[in-house]
Amino acid sequence: MSVLAPVGSFESAVVAQSGTVEWLLRVVLNDLWGTGLDIVARGTGLDILASPFMQRAYLAAICVAIIGPLVGSFLVHREMAMIADTLAHSAFAGVAVGLFVNATFAVVVAPLLTALVVAAIAALLVQTLVDYVGAYRDTSLAIVLTGAFAVGSVLVTATDGGIAVGINAYLFGSLATVSRANAAILLALSLFVTVVVAVAYRPLVFVTFDEVGARAAGLNVSQYNQLLAVLTAVVVVGAMQIMGVILVAAMLVVPVAAATPVRGFKRAIAAGICVGLFATVTGVTLSYVYGIAAGGTIVLVAIGVYASSRVAALISQRLSRRNSTQNPTVSQPAGADSGDNE
């Protein structure tokens, strides 16, 4: 009896916790988010907003649009954009691990969770190679990228291609992968990333723009580099549901690039999030209406916004130059400038 009692209490605790999680999911996904979109759907006549399937897809799109540029802004300004692609391939290996375990053993493992673990390990491995092994950053990225993709490809073929069909949705992105549980995981990951960036914002900015000065000020630069790498892994795993492993890096780079004309780092982050929101919501809608890939559609919309911002910036520069040529600054009385220079 003394042996069975702890087991029974443990099972009761697990059941209680699962019941609490289910209650939170019902409140957040159904009562708050779902009910809100139902009201909007009735008011606007947009039936697409009343579909539980699309409600989850839009929630995932908004989460990705926020955390992608939020973390990507630090990566782009540090010229570390390629780490997103490396961690995406690592996440592919993690998905393959989860699907392989599910297909081989009598165990049910969420592929997103295994992808998160593998991507986080890969992020720390990249930074370890840079800090302690002495490998150049691009070399360490290439080693981890190819190694992770090799592991994933071996696991896919180890079951005679049995998991190849299941992994295609993660490779190219699919709205069908945004289940109720996956939407909840993505929401939790998004809250985690947002809170961490908000708490560590100042040192992250310091390390991003002046790493030498940050070291001189006593900051543990290596620790913040590892933190940024892990946050990137979290974003990659969360975004690959609708973006796919192949295109997930775009949401950390393209919206940030489109917002580069905006002055001020905080304003640029906000502008990048706005670009991400427009791209993801528009892309998800077009994907549902026309039955096309969500990830590719989102990336094309984001690139369109980037191209438009570049053209607008170029036109603005030319107009300002033309105006300065046609309307030169009124000169001061003779001798005023020379007196100042002296």
How much of the chain exceeds pLDDT 90, in percent? 32
Task: Note whether residue 42 is domain-resident.
Answer: no
Cα distances (Å, whole numbers) of residue 267 to 149, 256, 271, 273: 36, 11, 6, 10
Averaged pLDDT score across all residues of the chain: 81
pLDDT of residue 15: 38
Any idea what the Cα angle at residue 137 is, between residues 72 and 193, rounded to 5°?
30
Residue 61 is predicted with a pLDDT of: 92
Within-domain flag for 32: no
Q: What is the DSSP letter of 175?
A: G
Q: Give whichever of 143-152, 166-175, 300-309 has the largest mean pLDDT.
A: 300-309
223 or 136, higher pLDDT: 223
Q: Which two structure tokens, joined as six digits, stand for 71?
A: 């973390």
Of 13 and 322, the one with more pLDDT:
322
Structure tokens at 240: 């690959």
Residue 8 near residue 34, CB atoms below 8 Å = no
Residue 338: which pLDDT band, with cuts at 50, 70 and 90?
Answer: very low
Q: Binning pLDDT at 50, 70 and 90, where does residue 163 land?
A: low
Residue 14 has pLDDT above 80, yes or no: no
Q: What is the pTM of this model?
A: 0.82
Q: What is the pLDDT of residues 270-282, one digit of tens each?
A: 999 999 999 999 9
Instruction: Give the range of the structural domain holding residue 227, as residue numbers without chain letter.
Output: 51-322
In a domain, 287, yes or no: yes
Per-residue pLDDT tens digits for 179-226: 888 888 888 899 999 999 999 999 999 999 998 899 999 899 889 999
pLDDT, residue 254, reads 94
Domain of 240, CATH number, reads 1.10.3470.10
Task: Report if residue 27 sits inside a domain.
Answer: no
Helices 294-326/265-290 angle, 10° precision: 130
> Number of structural domains, the chain?
1
| Confidence at residue 136, expressed as pLDDT on a 0 to 100 scale | 56
Answer yes or no: is 164 within a domain. Answer: yes
Residue with tokens 């069975």: 4
Residue of 225, 220, 239 lying closest to 279 (CA atoms):
239
User: Residue 333: inside a domain, yes or no?
Assistant: no
Give whole-number Cα distances, 8 to 5, 122, 183, in Å.
Answer: 5, 38, 31
Supply the pLDDT for residue 134: 60
* pLDDT band with cut points at 50, 70 and 90 for residue 286: very high
Q: pLDDT tens digits for 42-56?
A: 888 788 888 888 888
pLDDT at 165 over 60: no
Residue 6 has what pLDDT?
46
Per-residue pLDDT reduced to its tens digit, 60-93: 999 999 999 999 999 998 888 888 888 988 998 9
Q: Confirm whether 314 is domain-assigned.
A: yes
Residue 66 · residue 79 · CB < 8 Å: no
- The larger pLDDT score, comparing residue 272 to residue 100, is at 272
Give me the pLDDT at residue 160, please: 60
Q: 136 by DSSP, 3-state: which?
A: coil
| Nearest C-alpha neighbor of 72 from the set 187, 185, 206, 235 | 235
Identify whether 4 is part of a domain: no
